[in-house]
Amino acid sequence: MSREKIQIFDTTLRDGEQVPGCKLNKDEKIAIAKKLDELGVDVIEAGFPISSPGDFDSVRAISRMVVSACVCGLTRAKKKDIECAARALEKAKKPRIHTGIGTSESHIKYKFNASPQEIIDRATEAVSFARRYVEDVEFYAEDAGRTDNAFLARVCKEVIKAGATVLNIPDTTGYCLPEQYGNKIKYLRNHVEGIEKVVISCHCHNDLGLATANAIAGILNGARQIECTINGIGERAGNTSLEEVAMILKQHTALNFYTNIRSEMLTSMSHLVSESMGMMVQPNKAIVGSNAFAHSSGIHQDGVIKNRETYEIINPKEVGIHKSSIILTARSGRSALAYRLKKIGYEITKTQLDDLYPIFLDMADQKKEIGDEDLEILIEQYAGKQKNDIIHKNPRRK
Ligand code: KIV
Ligand code: ZN
């Protein structure tokens, strides 16, 4: 069976940039868009052009510069937003307008004070208006996660008739469980006339920590595009993380999906976004956190030193990290100490290791982590005690 492609829609520069305090200037956005294009994303959501002159300019500049990816601009279901996005996207090789409206009961009642039919009318008008400017129009049913499936299916059927090419089913509030979200996608596939003509897209938020799981459930039920951000940034608890979905689909070959992501660029991409936004990545973040390939307990270290695969499901090289790290703490064992000493050039015998280990533990109990400089001090103390230099120092190895 041939593998099916999953489109990666990156919204770091739109949903991701909505994070408080993480505003980017135009040059930073251009640099990120350039790297996203090299990374292999299929769609770059470059911004919300009507939201500010700065965002308009950035979307315009990114449209001119991007070589391969489709460039997308967000709008509300309003003519002035759509006209503005169309102008900003004028120079894009592959432009897409992303328009939509809230469809859940609470959005219809509190945000729009409208009737369900009025929502459908606004949605279809927006889609057909956008189609006057571009061939590729994505429709989002905001808060689809909490929208009644039968009503959602009605909206989807009408926007497809109006010319939508992609249907975005956002779990805007991050409420759904993976099974519920997956069933929603399945329901739409079974109940919406014309659904086979469009791509279904998953846009999941992480309020309950389920954004990635929900996006994968969507894919397993027929969606073929995932909307995500680098480092999982985005409104509130963030969005599905790009690096997670890319590696899940790569690792689980039995699922028979692939993406165009060049995974060896994921770490440097993550650093660029984190540095430009001044937003650190949590150390235990999957794939790109500083601890994602670090081992600190004695049992794990011993396993990894013998064979990396005992505790690592991904070869760090695949995501652009050139080694797993063996972190020395008071939980580390003898093999980790010998390994790290060897890395800085000290070959020691088993007896020397047995002598050195308790001294190491004393030091480690006082410090959180033992670095190379600490190891040099340890050796000096130990060799000093022995009165002669019994430890052989080789030229420093990498
Ligand atoms: O979360 C959401 O519903 C969105 C839409 C605007 C696509 O970000
Ligand atoms: Zn969102």
What are 245-287's pLDDT values in tens digits?
999 999 999 999 999 999 999 999 999 999 999 999 999 999 9
What are 336-355's pLDDT values in tens digits?
999 999 999 999 999 999 99
For the Cβ of 172 lying below 6 angstroms from any atom of ligand 1, the answer is: yes
For the Cβ of 48 lying below 6 angstroms from any atom of ligand 1, the answer is: no
The reported pTM is: 0.94
What are 131-183's pLDDT values in tens digits?
999 999 999 999 999 999 999 999 999 999 999 999 999 999 999 999 999 99
Indicate the top mutation candidate among 15, 139, 228 to test ligand 1's pocket, ranked by most ligand atoms within 8 A of CB.
15
Q: What is the 289 CA–ligand 2 centroid distance (Å)?
A: 23
Average pLDDT, the chain: 95
Helices (H), ranges, the chain: 26-39, 53-65, 79-89, 105-106, 116-131, 149-162, 178-191, 211-220, 242-251, 266-277, 298-306, 334-343, 350-366, 372-386
Query: Could you count the other beta carbons within 10 Å of the beta carbon of residue 193?
Result: 12
What are 1-35's pLDDT values in tens digits?
799 999 999 999 999 998 988 889 999 999 999 99
For the Cβ of 229 lying below 6 angstroms from any atom of ligand 1, the answer is: no
Cα Dmax for the chain: 89
